[in-house]
Amino acid sequence: MDRLLRQCGADIPHERAMDSISLERERGITISSKVTCVSWKDKELNMVDTPGHADFGGEVERVVGMVEGAILVVDAGEGPLAQTKFVLAKALKYGLRPILLLNKVDKPSVSEERCSEVESLVFDLFANLGATEEQLDFPVLYASAKEGWASSEYTKSPPEEAKNMSDLLDTIVRHVTPPAANLDAPFQMLVSMMEKDSFVGRILTGRISSGVLRVGDKVHGLRATDTGVQKIEEGKVVKLIKKKGTSMFSVDSAGAGDIICMAGLATPSIGHTVASTEVMDALPTVELDPPTISMTFGVNDSPLAGKDGTHVNEEHVGLVMEALSHRRGEVVDMGPVPGHAGRTRLSMICPSRGLVGYRSVFFSVTRGTGFMHRAFQSYGKHRGPLGNVRKGVLVSYSSITVL
């Protein structure tokens, strides 16, 4: 994102300029989605920076309605990972046509043959996720974000005059279709993001589906229920904010196709529709994935609460496969990691309850050298009780002696 913003003339005060949360900058990851827009040649491009990890999946699902395409960034050395599958599945589900960007091709271990292997792996991933013929016809670009360039042809180092992001921006303009916008229709917008301002209160962000919104317009919030459309609140637009590059500025109006931040309503939230007062139809909402597991937390009120005891020796769980087999895991694929001698990639299907508490075991078994990623696949039948798995601390109704 930094390189794209610089290419379009934005002022970047520091690296990872879109990551405004302190925890994001500290850990080097994106946690919440961010929106902005840039001007490229005679076009204005709306861009949404989303997290890539399944743990923040809601941030991805909420914003897919604001875009018409997606850039799938894959490490050319590692290939597609578990989180790649998760993000790609969301994009394909909502009909987006992704662009494949193979990053870090400047690494010594990345060759043209390796890039071809990764392209094949990504194509297979598209097919397994049910991509359409149109989605399978995705353009491929090669890039080094560290050096600030992208190329439509494989290269380790393009000429100096080509060391920029022009090829990627041109591909976006060619490949991503503009939104179908009707400026003459009444105003409607689906709320995709929400934040709070100490001066104007709740700020609702979304892409305008139809019509024009101006400061001072009367609008109301709508919510779709099982019995019909419910009116939440009516109010007046007190402020409109547009984000461009790394800057924010107030505007007097915005039209269909624009991603805009508006203030004036205190009740509507993500998934609700904001519309002109004469409109009583709510826009379709984005369905979020259901939770994969539920947990109940309570206060420790056992008779032994607050008392010290002696530790019981644990049986050491050997190999990762053995440990996960006790947790009802099944191996679906195993093989070497290209470009990383001595490393093995293991793909398994395991119940969510079987993974509770396993991460610390995994890091202990691999002595901190392993990488673990997980993503929800589907609901399935109960696989029975877990095997030789430490399930937690001893719970007792009376004082006993542990042998």
Q: For residue 6, give the CATH number of its domain.
A: 3.40.50.300
Q: Are residues 323 and 253 in the same domain?
A: no
Answer yes or no: are the C-beta atoms of 393 and 357 closer than 8 Å. Answer: no
Residues 265-269 have a mean pLDDT of 92
Interatomic CA distance for residues 97 and 258, integer angstroms: 20
What pLDDT, in 10s, does the model give residues 290-349? 666 666 777 777 666 666 544 333 534 366 777 778 788 888 877 777 767 777 777 888
Interatomic CA distance for residues 320 and 373, integer angstroms: 14
Q: Are residues 28 and 94 in the same domain?
A: yes
The residues, ordered by sequence, that sit 6+ positions from 215 with a Cβ below 8 Å of its Cβ are 237, 238, 239, 240, 252, 253
Residue whose C-alpha is closest to residue 94's, from 70, 119, 123, 72: 70
The DSSP code sequence of 25-61 is HHHT---S-EEEEEEETTEEEEEEE---SGGGHHHHH
Helices 112-128 and 82-93, axial angle in degrees (round to 10)? 50
The token pair that represents 200 in the structure block: 């104007």
The token pair that represents 195 in the structure block: 């934040």
The answer to whether residue 283 sits within a structural domain is no
The answer to whether residue 180 sits within a structural domain is no
- Domain-ending residue, one of 149, 175, 201: 175
- Kindly provide the residue ranges of all beta strands, DSSP E only, lying in 211-326, ordered along the sequence: 212-214, 218-225, 228-236, 239-244, 247-250, 253-255, 259-263, 273-276
Identify the domain containing residue 121 by its residue range: 2-175
Q: Report the CATH number that the domain containing residue 247 is assigned in CATH.
A: 2.40.30.10
The token pair that represents 215 in the structure block: 């400061």
- Domain-ending residue, one of 242, 276, 310: 276
Q: Are residues 133 and 208 in the same domain?
A: no
Q: Are residues 10 and 145 in the same domain?
A: yes
The token pair that represents 138 in the structure block: 């995705």
The amino acid present at 192, given as its one-letter code, is: S
Q: What is the pTM for the complete model shown?
A: 0.70
Q: Are residues 51 and 141 in the same domain?
A: yes
Question: How many domains does one find in the chain?
Answer: 3
What pLDDT, in 10s, does the model give residues 136-179? 999 999 999 889 999 999 999 899 888 999 999 999 999 998 88
Percentage of residues in the chain having pLDDT higher than 70: 82
The answer to whether residue 221 sits within a structural domain is yes
- Domain-ending residue, one of 276, 309, 329: 276
